Amino acid sequence: MNPYLEERIRELGFRITPQRQLILEAVAEAGEKARIEDIMERVQAKSSAISQATVYRTLEIFGAHNLIHVNVLDGQRVYEVAGENVHHHMICQSCWSDEKIPHKVVNEFVDNVQVKYGFLAQPHHLFLLGLCKHCQEEEDKKQISKEEEKRP
Amino acid sequence: MNPYLEERIRELGFRITPQRQLILEAVAEAGEKARIEDIMERVQAKSSAISQATVYRTLEIFGAHNLIHVNVLDGQRVYEVAGENVHHHMICQSCWSDEKIPHKVVNEFVDNVQVKYGFLAQPHHLFLLGLCKHCQEEEDKKQISKEEEKRP
DNA sequence: GACTAACATGCGAATGTTTGCAATTGAGAA
DNA sequence: TTCTCAATTGCAAACATTCGCATGTTAGTC
């Protein structure tokens, strides 16, 4: 298992168990935006003896301590192992493309909020929903043809 | 019911039913960050004939169309009727205080992302988690006494 | 006002998620 | 290494959420 993670787990006072190692591996292998069913499937494949409750509990605990990022996408929880480079996502609600934004850009916003309100935002893994460049153009086209319908 | 909402519902092609009116009322009365149990309780008080499935379905549909904001706080979904003034929240993860930020401030960030990446973020109701001014100071104090422990 | 087609609801069953508790196990102390 | 105890796990039951389908309703049309 990722030695960085192992260290963080110990630091936080949690124990390292085979189940937890395996679950974290499964989340890592399931890639970004892993849904519970993806994770469950991989865990079962590795060892069918692990109880579902343990998977849920592990994700919950590690999520609460930012060892795993938890986000909600399209109504479903999605998980990602927290790496060392902080980043965020720009997700298109039309084509579901997903681009990363480095933390630096988000940080300017964080600083701005800090200066204006004194609030220290700690966004570990933002999901910014919106429209990618391509889908914005598509939307514009739709808008134009809609207006043409009104006066032919 | 809020006439603005009623209009939006019709525009989107949905029907107005007594159940939906009642559920939206309940969400509105439950205030910001209403949990499903708060809503369910209020709905039941108004009319015990409404099925739970209908409440879930209504929240889901109206959430997907931004008539209701859905966020996740501390692992639980929370709902808020979408009003006409767009705003966001700064929520302290230590004392759970909650201050609103006007959209204007968030919009500067949105513009920045748009210019840099071409992505049009559409944050309707951000929950910015972090530390309020007061809790930042408390954290600082803790940090200092921790360091003093190391060399007494 | 009556008619109709599509939409919405309620019911109950199927799924998904959380919880309490007894048994097990990791990791520090001896 | 062995001992000890709190943390962790598996199980099964409780609870929460979603789904399929038959029935009832809305809102537009005549």
Half-sphere exposure of A41 (CA within 13 A, CB side): 7
Nearest one of B87, B136, B137, B110 to A112, comparing CA atoms:
B110
Residue B151 has pLDDT above 60, yes or no: no
In DSSP notation, B100-115 reads EEEHHHHHHHHHHHHH
Residue B119 DSSP class: -
Q: Would the Cβ of A16 be found within 7 angstroms of any atom in strand C?
A: yes
Sign of CA dihedral B45, B49, B52, B55: negative
| A contacts of B96 (beta carbons < 8 Å) | none
**Ordered per-residue pLDDT tens for chain A, 152 residues:** 788 899 999 999 999 999 999 999 999 999 999 999 999 999 999 999 999 999 999 999 999 999 999 999 999 999 999 998 899 999 999 999 999 999 999 999 999 999 999 999 999 999 999 999 999 999 888 777 666 554 44
Q: What are phi and psi of B129, to 5 degrees?
A: -95, 150
Residue B127, Cβ density class (10 Å: 0-12 exposed, 13-18 middle, ≥19 buried) = middle
* Model pLDDT, residue A152: 41
In the 18-47 stretch of chain B, whose C-beta falls under 7 Å of nucleic acid strand C? 19-20
Cα–Cα dist A104/A122, whole Å? 13
Residue A110 DSSP class: H
Q: Would the Cβ of A142 be found within 7 angstroms of any atom in strand C?
A: no
Chain length of chain A:
152
Q: What is the CA B19 to chain-centroid distance, rounded? A: 22
For B86-97, the pLDDT digits (tens) are: 999 999 999 999
| A contacts of B92 (beta carbons < 8 Å) | 119
